[in-house]
Structure 1
Amino acid sequence: MTKIQCLAIDDERLALEVMEAYIERIPFLHLAQLCAKPMQALEFLARNPIDLLFLDIEMPGLNGLEFLQAIKTPPLVILTTAYPQFAVDAFELNVVDYLLKPIPFSRFLTAVQKAQAQLSENQQRNQNLTETKPLDGNIFIKSGSKTVRVDVQEILFIEGKKDHVMLHTRQSQITTQLSLSSLMEKLSSDQFLRIHRSFIVALNKIESIERNRVMIDKKEIPIGEFYREDLFKRIS
């Protein structure tokens, strides 16, 4: 099993020693680096892939929350602090967990198990997306109890209903529980565009545009105000 690569940042040496000892006790963790200074950690992150970051909040120069906001694509983060008042701000940054010092090992273990589960879920999601990318112009869509192959070139538009999504082709309509966002990830952004919160259209199937709607196969499809500028950029 591939180990989770960890980085611990804390300006207190004793706190780093505790992190080091705890990480060594857990077989699926590997400590890549201990950092006493945030800038040192930024340099390390720029050169090394990290899965999980243990991050103190109260540090001189750059606190943990500012540090986290400075990272363009942060790894999973578990915050470690002696100050409970930062909890709300922390969870708004989508951290995995928030550990209050002194940290019991049992509480530390619970937090890293949550991180392990989230990493596993992310890897599975990425694998599924890779497996369902278009191949020779086809995508596979779960529809009821069946998985249906759909020729991408046959798709006219995709419509989001209240409790399902419908792919419209000239020959058929295919219902799926996938979200519009999930379907958009399967399709080429060069060929398809979301023009409304409930509609994705095939750009080469648009017959005309009039005011707040497009026409595709005699079907009027609304253009959402939020999506209008992007649509006209794409067709200009």
Structure 2
Amino acid sequence: MSKIQCLVVDDERLALEVMEAYIERVPFLHLAKLCSTPVQALEFIARNPIDVLFLDIEMPGLNGLQFLQTLKAPPLVVLTTAYSQFAVEAFDLNVTDYLLKPIPFNRFLAAVQKVQTQLGENRLRSGLSVPDPKPLDSHLFIKSGVKTIRVDLGEILFIEGKKDYVLVHTRQNKIATQLSLTHFMEKLPADLFARIHRSFIVALTKIESIERNRILIDQTEVPIGELYREDFFKRIG
């Protein structure tokens, strides 16, 4: 299935580089163009199909909100800005999400999931093909004792390996299973989950903060193993 076509507009070179790196890490996204001005973006949109526009607000000449109002049929829009005071006006323009700089990778992923869901709904209404399966709509069946339990991937916070079993942590409960961490890594989407320790797999979109060798998820500290540290920090930038 086709990838989601992304256009990024920002007058700061570093911000463009960050968004380029983030988009490259998500398999179902494709970077169509980086633009440093709204005028460049307008010319590109006129000639090319775009699914989602990552748009800065504070830019010289024409700011992001003014530019958005000039578009007759805008794509989905995710605003990227260092300023929170534009949020009300932004959502009046039906933007999909509002990201505050500096943008953590897990927050970017959460916005992308919203885009993916909304695109799927729009294309179904239009009778077009739906993009790649939505991670938050997918699930696993986990055998726990005599039960087999359905767990939506979007509910998983982290998975913890114990000596003789594995615990799947959600906000609602903890599910014990004899399935291995290796089994879960084979089943989970690699763009949304990461193994950060020999005993832990985490949901990237559920990470609240990172401090040295620890991750905080739902008020629980999860360690980062030395063997996994380098790869993990490369993924989150």
Distance 2:7 2:72 in 1: 17
User: With structure 1 as the length reference, what TM-score do the two structures score?
Assistant: 0.54
Residue 111 of structure 1 is matched in structure 2 by 111
Residue 11 of structure 1 is matched in structure 2 by 11
Residue 78 of structure 1 is matched in structure 2 by 78
Residue 28 of structure 2 is matched in structure 1 by 28
Residue 98 of structure 1 is matched in structure 2 by 98
The higher radius of gyration belongs to 1
- Per the TM alignment, residue 125 of structure 1 is displaced from its structure 2 partner at its CA by 1.1
Alignment of 1:113-128 (within 5 A): 113-127=113-127
- Per the TM alignment, residue 69 of structure 1 is displaced from its structure 2 partner at its CA by 0.2
The C-alpha deviation readout for 1:14-55, integer Å capped at 9, x for no partner, is: 000000000000011000000001101100111111000000
- Per the TM alignment, residue 10 of structure 1 is displaced from its structure 2 partner at its CA by 0.1
Distance 1:121 1:39 in 2: 30
- Per the TM alignment, residue 2 of structure 1 is displaced from its structure 2 partner at its CA by 1.0
- Per the TM alignment, residue 122 of structure 1 is displaced from its structure 2 partner at its CA by 0.6
- Which structure is richer in relative contact order (CA contacts within 8 A, separation 6 or more)? 2
- The runs of at least 4 consecutive aligned structure 1 residues that moved more than 3 Å come to none
- Per the TM alignment, residue 100 of structure 1 is displaced from its structure 2 partner at its CA by 0.1
Distance 2:88 2:127 in 1: 32
Unaligned runs of 5+ in 1: 129-236
Answering whether residue 72 of structure 2 is matched by residue 42 of structure 1, we say no
Equivalent pairs: percent with the same residue? 77
SS in 1 for 2:94: coil
What amino acid sits opposite 1:52 in the alignment?
V
The C-alpha deviation readout for 1:102-157, integer Å capped at 9, x for no partner, is: 000000000011000000011111119xxxxxxxxxxxxxxxxxxxxxxxxxxxxx
What amino acid sits opposite 1:102 in the alignment?
P
The C-alpha deviation readout for 1:175-216, integer Å capped at 9, x for no partner, is: xxxxxxxxxxxxxxxxxxxxxxxxxxxxxxxxxxxxxxxxxx
Distance 1:78 1:123 in 2: 18
Aligned residues: 128
Over aligned residue pairs, what C-alpha RMSD do you find? Answer: 0.9
Unaligned runs of 5+ in 2: 129-237
Alignment of 1:196-235 (within 5 A): none
User: With structure 2 as the length reference, what TM-score do the two structures score?
Assistant: 0.53
